[in-house]
Every structure is written in structure tokens, then in C-alpha cells.
Amino acid sequence: MPDADMVKVLNDLIRTSEDRRRTFADAAREATRSELRILFQRRAIDCGTAVIELQRLVRSLGGRAKRRGTVAGMVHRIWARAKTTLGDANIAMLREVECIEGQAKAAYARALDARLPAHIRSTVQLQHYGAIRNHGLIHDLRRCYRVTRNLYGPGGLT
């Protein structure tokens, strides 16, 4: 694969990971449960680290690394913030980060279909595993939170 094509693939992942970082950071600000705020803050940091790693790879190929996420990601975040005013902020944020991690899983899977050199493929694969892990964790938390909320009321288990 030519370097320009690899730069495009990596820049797409940078934009995806920047959307993820911002979504987790917004979720950390909006969540009302401290354990969710902490989880979202940690995931935001992890996604920020992923962005930095991808940018380093782009520069090593002689490319210009993207710095921002997508317009669609920004619109999603605005919509998610609006939804927090309509209902349970924790569930709204869990839904939003689950959605963005699902999109990230797909973006990383597409990137792994490309013919990447081993050192780039290993970084992309590790980040893909992170998105898979995050998606599964958030999915399970959202389901558990919804069940405890239904059983014990809006505060869940306290």
C-alpha cells in the first residue's frame, strides 16, 4: 500500500478516535454517577493516547496528521447533551459512548482490511481491541444500569 493511502487510513482513525475522546470527555462531564465519570475520564485519556500514537505514525510516513474529529461526531455530541435534559443523563451518556465505540469498532475493522505494514498493523490492532473492549463494557453497564434503575428507581443502587 502506498504511503499516501496509509496516511488516509490512519487519518480516518485519528478523526474517529478524536470523536471518541471528545464523546467520553463530554460523557464524563454530564454523568451524575461518580463511577461513570471516572470510567469516562479514563476512556477519554485512552482515546487521546490513541490519537497521539496514530498521529506519530502519520508523521513517520511523511504525512500531515489530522487534529480534529468529524462534523458528524460533533453533531452526535450536541444531540447527546440535549438528551441529558430529557431523561437520565447516565443512560443517555452510556448510549452515546456505546454508539461511538460501535462506530470505532467498524472503522478499525475497515482499516485492518487494508494492507498495512506490521508495525502499523500492530498499533491499529491493539486500538481495535480497545474499542471492542470499551464497546462491550459500556454495553453491559448500560444494560445493568437500566435494570437497576427499573428495580430501584432513578438513583439505581446506592
157 within some domain = no
- Residue 14 sits in a domain whose CATH number is 1.20.1260.10
Query: Using an 8 Å Cβ cutoff, are 94 and 145 in contact?
Result: yes
Query: pLDDT at position 86, please?
Result: 54
pTM score: 0.82
158 within some domain = no
- For residue 84, the number of C-alpha atoms closer than 13 Å in the C-beta half-sphere is 17
For the stretch 33-69, pLDDT in tens is 999 999 999 999 999 999 999 999 999 999 988 876 5
* Mean pLDDT, the chain, integer: 85
Query: Using an 8 Å Cβ cutoff, are 15 and 68 in contact?
Result: yes
Q: How many domains are there within the chain? A: 1
- How many residues are there in the chain? 158
Whole-angstrom Cα distance, residue 78 to residue 53? 27
- For residue 66, the number of C-alpha atoms closer than 13 Å in the C-beta half-sphere is 20
Range of the domain at 42: 3-152
Query: Is 113's pLDDT higher than 70?
Result: yes
Quickly tell me which residue has 479514563 as its cell: 42
Query: Is 158's pLDDT higher than 50?
Result: no
Quick count: other Cβ atoms within 10 Å of Cβ 42?
Answer: 12
